[in-house]
Amino acid sequence: MAKMWQGVTDGVTSKIADDFNSSISFDSRMFREDIAGSVAHAKMLAKQGIISDSEKDSIVTGLVGILEDLESGALRIDLSCEDIHMFVEQVLTERIGDPGRRLHTARSRNDQVALDLRLYLRRETGEIIVLIKSAVEAVAKKAEEYKTAVMPGYTHLQRAQPILFSHQLLAYCMMLLRDIDRLEDCRERMNRSPIGSCALAGTTYNTDRRFEAELLGFSGICHNSIDGVSDRDFAAELISSLSIMMMHLSRFCEELILWSSWEFKFITLSDGYTTGSSIMPQKKNPDMAELIRGKTGRVYGDLMSLLTALKGLPLAYNKDMQEDKEPVFDAVDTAKACLGVFIPMISEMRANPENMLKAAQTGFINATDLADYLVRKGMPFRSAYKIAGQAVAKCGEKGLVLETLPLEDYKTLSELFDEDLYKDIDLMNCVEKRISEGGTSPESVGAQLNYIKSLLNKPTGGSR
């Protein structure tokens, strides 16, 4: 069949070329946005006197009917069409005749596709923001549930200093709140209307781009028509923000995988979010956490695909840009699926505070506090650091820990040691003393929790 764009060519392409050229298998998901865009376009054309009111009415009624039929399943997407834009226009024209042929006045598929993609991703970004908020809530709730559980904090994956488990959890809340910020920023830049840029140069018709932008809920228009049709920054920025968000989920999942191993046993993931082994009956595998970690790479790949597709493109539209959709849709779908499993997995996770404490009791993680004790008794920190190291070595020789090393042994290292040292190196006490803002004391962690809650209660929800 000859194409709608038949002009200088005979419009007959080979089946192989048609299949290769077609994007309808993946862009048909934008049918709602395509229809909403066309409704707004018809209204603008009529307001400007470019089409008549009755033509506008029949276009709008036709489009609404197509939308209803697509939603109900009465109308099926014809996959032999080149893309969703062609499909909607074709069905409209079949249904209403001539007015349907007037819809494409003062626009091009170049600005139409840029519009649809912005509308589609704007909504998806909003949905992802809501999901991230729920993730923050789930993690903060866990932190509240296990407010005072003490665990070893790590650097280099070596036990470092005692911290509250809740403190570590809230660190992830902070990351996710920044992710919300990034997505909100991205959505703001995305929220400009490209429609009316037409093929690239604008149009001779007396259009009202701002009116059309307003109908579609945009906060403004793209100010340069060539940029309007060439710009895919908003998609790259979205995948980039999602990549960072996925990196956060992945780090968290890595900890969940470690913590649920027999080596740690700090947490137990619920049966609903683990799997068994087909051969080893004792196994409980953290597949969901592993898959989130694994899918992070896929989202990074989506970012690379898009950036690479764009990097050599001269202005304005090039067909390469059709390759923007699959990566950005995949990134959005993957991020939503990961958040969708992450949230209940966290909510159902149980912590094992006794095991955390046991781990905290070995590894001399209160050695810094022992040094600080001597500093408070007047010794310079560098000397105190050395003596605390000697105390650790003595414990090593005797198979003891700092809490059980007798005072006589301490006295051989420094006369400043006294009975009160034991209170200073008590693990809970070590945690309670770290009252600096943002620190690990229950008081500081409580303040962090309140801060997070206050952000979640704001309509925007980011970290500002």
**Per CB under 6 A, 321 contacts ligand ARG:** yes
Instruction: Between 199 and 357, name the residue whose CB sits nearer to ligand ARG.
Output: 199
Considering the candidates 14, 156, 223, 436, report the single residue annotated as catalytic. 156
Question: Please, which of residues 5-24 interact with ligand ARG by CB under 6 A?
Answer: 23
Residue 190: helix, strand or coil by DSSP?
A: helix
Quote the DSSP letter at residue 161. E
**Per CB under 6 A, 83 contacts ligand ARG:** yes
Number of residues counted as binding ligand ARG (CB under 6 A):
10
**Per CB under 6 A, 109 contacts ligand ARG:** yes
CB 94 within 8 A of CB 68: no
H or E element: which one contains 162?
strand 158-164
Question: Please, which of residues 338-377 interact with ligand ARG by CB under 6 A?
Answer: none
Instruction: Between 214 and 326, name the residue whose CB sits nearer to ligand ARG.
Output: 326
Instruction: Between 110 and 366, name the residue whose CB sits nearer to ligand ARG.
Output: 110
Question: In the chain, what is the greatest distance between 2 CA atoms, to the nearest angstrom?
Answer: 101
Q: Which listed residue (38, 58, 93, 110) binds ligand ARG by CB under 6 A? A: 110
Query: Cβ 1 to ligand ARG, closest distance in Å?
Result: 17
Choose the binding region for ligand ARG from 150-158, 315-323, 395-403, 428-436 (rule: CB under 6 A): 315-323
Choose the binding region for ligand ARG from 123-131, 134-142, 174-182, 314-322 (rule: CB under 6 A): 314-322
Instruction: Between 207 and 322, name the residue whose CB sits nearer to ligand ARG.
Output: 322
C-alpha 369: how far from its chain's center?
38
Residue from 199, 189, 183 nearest 220 by CA? 189
**Per CB under 6 A, 322 contacts ligand ARG:** yes
DSSP codes, 341-400: HHHHHHHH-EE-HHHHHHHHHSS-TTHHHHHHHHHHTT--HHHHHHHHHHHHHHHHHHT-
H or E element: which one contains 192?
strand 192-193
Query: Cβ 8 to ligand ARG, closest distance in Å?
Result: 14
Query: Cβ 232 to ligand ARG, closest distance in Å?
Result: 10
Distance CA 433, CA 441 (A): 6
**Per CB under 6 A, 113 contacts ligand ARG:** yes
Residue 277 among the catalytic residues:
yes
Query: Cβ 271 to ligand ARG, closest distance in Å?
Result: 44
Phi, psi angles (nearest 5°) of residue 200: -170, -30
Phi, psi angles (nearest 5°) of residue 162: -70, 140
**Per CB under 6 A, 317 contacts ligand ARG:** yes
**The tokens of 312 are what?**
């050599």
H or E element: which one contains 267?
strand 267-268
Residues in touch with ligand ARG (CB under 6 A): 23, 27, 83, 109-110, 113, 317, 319, 321-322
- Which positions are catalytic? 156, 277
